[in-house]
Structure 1
């Protein structure tokens, strides 16, 4: 029974996700080189998205002008962009299959940075207490 068992184990091992079976990776990341993607690699990939670049520009403008409404728009925008870009709205399971194959890494670092930016924008653009002035007159 040794050779039969060995053959079954080898056949089952070949059925697992591998770069050669990367059908989902051809859809999600066509330029994938076959190396597994980690959290930092996924962060760098997601930061290159046009939606994220627009959100970074919007965040910079809201902070520069200390706009409460701009801060609100940026925080809602970060929430929507994070939902869309990380593939959480994937109904057919393509992103989950691509993650199992290794061409999509964990997006926890990107989500943490987007949340930290949102919290920072809310705290920075919050209205000042009455009687406080921003020009240093005290």
Structure 2
């Protein structure tokens, strides 16, 4: 093994993001147990955040009372929660490091869940068309 290859292997080993070096998981998920988070685990984690729990209750109320304005507020709330929970507003460096370490999973299922809830709320709370016969 030559010195160039040995240097490349050592550089690759030092550049790998490990929890002991990056410490991003202690900032993002303090109670992480070391098991890589799947997309389903990330969905369950994001569904347990306080803003999403409030949105679930608000969605149930908007659907129950068939409120158009309530549906609008809920759809905007789901959009904002998706924006904030998935880190679209940040630079993404710490999120990318946390995903490579495994303490944050892929948030595609959460985005899909929020989109389906928004579509359902819009369709259910839309005004009913009445036939105007004269």
Global fold match (TM > 0.5): yes
Deviation, 1:6, is 4.2
* 1:61-120 alpha-carbon deviations (Å, 9 max, x no partner): 011111111111100110011101111111362222211222111100000000000000
**Size of the alignment, in residue pairs?**
131
Do the aligned residues in 2 keep the contact of 1:19 with 1:34 (CA within 8 Å)?
no
Partner of 1:136: none
Q: Which residue of 2 aligns with 1:120?
A: 120
Matched residues in 1 for 2:58 and 2:67: separation? 11
**Where does residue 87 of structure 2 map in the other structure?**
87
User: Equivalent residue for 1:44?
Assistant: 44
Point out 4+ residue stretches in structure 1 off by more than 6 angstroms: none
- Equivalent residue number for residue 75 of structure 1: 75
Q: For 1:20 and 1:35, how far apart are their aligned partners in 2?
A: 15
TM-score by length of 2: 0.88
Q: RMSD between aligned alpha carbons?
A: 1.8
Unpaired stretches in structure 1, ≥5 consecutive residues:
133-138
Q: Distance in 1 between matches of 2:119 and 2:14?
A: 46
1:65 aligned residue: 65
Deviations 1:9-32 (A, max 9, x none): 144234211232242111111111
